[in-house]
Amino acid sequence: MKRSVAFMALLSFSTILLSCGGKKDNPKPEPPATESSWKLGNYTYARGASSQTVTSDLAGMTVTTSGDGGNHGVYSGSALTLVFKASLGAGTYALTTSTIMSANPTVRYMTLLCTVGTAVTTGAVNYSATETSGGTAEVTVDSNGKYHVNINTPVTLVKTLVTGGGIPGAPATYTLTVKNAY
């Protein structure tokens, strides 16, 4: 329970940082957003902004689109939220739930949430990795200490939450790939 509260606090803090902006301490220029993208089903989203938070135990990353969010109608706009054990460093992480990740502190597990419909006012849908999603994410750390995540083989995410009316007809599952989320 304590780890679940810490996980939720980390996600909330990441969202606040992303929403409020902040000072960039990165002396090297970041790659263009087109070098960072994700594909949910047939919809491709380009990174517009991101934030990373690292506590003594967890690393959290939120990556969002900007502007029209890909101009995909009710699917316009998306955000990825990734959380994993910072102490385990770079490597291959199995995608799962926060409960399983918290119960196995020495195993490279990652939780993943993909929200679609963030650039419209009609509603959004969250898709998450589950304990049966399978799939892995490759985590690297650049020279500035920033985490980068890639998911090259499609992983199946499950619809877990509908907000603001959601997206009518949104499927129960979607596949996801990620190219250089940071």
Check if the beta carbon of residue 151 is closer than 8 Å to that of residue 108.
no
HEC profile of 95-108:
EECHHHHHHCCCCC
The predicted structure's pLDDT at residue 34: 62
Largest CA distance in the chain: 45
The predicted structure's pLDDT at residue 56: 77
Residue 25 within a domain: no
Residue 48 within a domain: yes
Show the low-confidence residues of the chain (pLDDT under 70).
1-34
* Structural domains in the chain (count): 1
The predicted structure's pLDDT at residue 152: 97
Q: What is the pLDDT of residues 32-41, one digit of tens each?
A: 546 899 999 9
- Does the predicted TM-score (pTM) go above 0.95? no
- Measure the CA angle with vertex 19, ends 163 and 8; round to 5°: 60
The predicted structure's pLDDT at residue 132: 84
Residue 142 main-chain phi, psi, to 5 deg: -85, 180
Residue 30 within a domain: no
Residue 100 within a domain: yes
Residue 24 within a domain: no
What is the extent of the structural domain holding 166?
Answer: 2-19+36-181
